[in-house]
Amino acid sequence: MTSPRSLQSSDNSMAHAPAVQVRHIAHGPDDRELPVPLTIALDFGWMFGRVFPGDFVGECRDGGVGACDNGHQWKHTRTDHRPRLYNDATVGWNSEPKAAVKTINESVKKATNGLIKDIICESDVVGVAMDIVLANAVYFKGVWRHSFHPHGTWPGTFFCLDCSHAEASFMTAFGTMCIACFDAFKVLKLPYVPWRVVMFEEEELHCYEACYSMFVFLPDARDGITAMVDVVTAAPASLQGILDQMTERTVRVKLPKFEISFKWDDLEADLCRLGLSLPFSPEEADLQGMCVADDIAAEGDEQQRRPMSLSKVAHMAVVKVSEAGSEGVELDSYLRGRPDLTPDFVEFIADHPFTFLI
């Protein structure tokens, strides 16, 4: 799943958000290895730290922590370049692993208002030589611009890829929506209530409207999700080409309520495969500017020092989907009508594996 906020400082890849956090607080030559889109992301991350949410009625929280070993002291000269929910921590990986894990998890819990509690565990740090750990967490709970009526939610069967099935609560709606229909799949747009963001630009206040939508990609065949994803990701322009074909039509929707969480435990290995390897190398890393002492002593020898390196990156995201998206909020619902009186309508029955983008 992909969302601009989960990629708060990135170019639409969740793998990049923690990487940009490194670049916010370090300024060594490793900058050269970060992909070009991240230079744009830096500006966005700087801007995001100065955004003040307006009248958004849902929840969109993200934050994290950069933790270094207690043998070092963070520099604070660059903290104004980081998103406001990212904190510094000094912990003892070897001496007090439980306390170190608690410090990181408490910071993430605070940043997400208790919605994400545990992003790393003790096994991640015990017996591992660590310099720096970055933890990044995102919680998104949007409010539909046109809510699903609670009386239209019914129990039903969801068919899984392994030919098993599960009982689920399905939200239903009938009305005018944006949809695109292709040979083997459909794409439905479900917009969220927009909200205002106010930020300073050149010492002046500017107000913008932030608009997010969920795009649900549903294959026609119950086992068609793999082939559909191949089509959507065939080329960089494929996705935008698909979204450009959205049109308003009368649609009957059946969509399950769900909550999905995603934890990326091996993010550092994936970043290395994408070409970002130097920050993780104890021999070649150059994260100058993070700590007061940029180099650390090699084991057992104070005379031999090596650069501080990045040891672990953790990322987690949570998305909830329900009738309204937020309890206690009353909004306009989709018009309820009779499909038998509207012969030219599209059926969007998500009772089998689908994917979505925000």
Same domain, 340 and 232: yes
pLDDT at 160: 95
**Residue ranges making up the domain that contains 164:** 150-255+331-357
Tell me whether residue 303 is in a domain. yes
pLDDT of 325 > 60? The answer is no
CATH number at residue 309: 3.30.497.10
**What mean pLDDT do residues 308-316 have?**
74
pLDDT beyond 50 at 83: no
Q: What is the mean pLDDT of residues 261-270?
A: 79
Q: Decide: 51 and 197 in contact? Cβ < 8 Å.
A: yes
Most confident of 142-146, 149-153, 216-220, 342-346: 216-220
Residues 118 and 176 in one domain: no
59: left (phi over 0), alpha (psi -120 to 50) or beta: beta
The residue among 289 and 256 whose pLDDT is bigger is: 256
Does residue 251 sit in the same domain as residue 265?
A: no
**194 falls within a domain:** yes
Tell me the per-residue pLDDT of 190-206, one tens digit each, with 9 for 90 and over: 998 887 766 666 667 77
Q: Is the pLDDT at 189 greater than 70, yes or no?
A: yes
Q: What pTM was estimated for this model as a whole? A: 0.68
pLDDT of residue 215: 95
Number of domains in the chain: 2
Q: What is the CATH number of the domain that holds 337?
A: 2.30.39.10
69 within some domain: yes
On whether both 197 and 336 belong to a single domain, the answer is yes
Do 89 and 130 reside in the same domain of the chain? yes
Is residue 159 scored above 90 in pLDDT?
yes
343 is a domain residue:
yes
| Per-residue model confidence (pLDDT) at position 89 | 60
Q: Does residue 1 lie within any of the structural domains?
A: no
Per-residue pLDDT tens digits for 11-63 = 333 344 555 455 544 555 455 455 443 433 333 333 333 343 444 455 565 56
pLDDT tens-digit map of 109-123 = 877 777 777 877 777
Question: Do residues 159 and 136 both lie within one domain?
Answer: no
How far is 189 from 6, CA to CA, in rounded Å? 19
Q: Are residues 65 and 84 in the same domain?
A: yes
Phi, psi of 98 (to 5 degrees): -65, -45
Same structural domain for residues 302 and 191? no
Per-residue pLDDT averaged across 239-261, rounded?
Answer: 91
Does one domain contain both 158 and 230?
A: yes
Average pLDDT, rounded, for the chain: 71
Does the residue 6 lie in any domain? Answer: no
44: closest CA among 77, 13, 19, 8? Answer: 8
Whether residue 292 sits in one domain with residue 155? no
Q: Assess if residue 195 is contained within a domain.
A: yes
- 301/160 same-domain check: no
Please check whether residue 5 lies inside any domain of the structure. Answer: no
Query: Do residues 161 and 209 both lie within one domain?
Result: yes
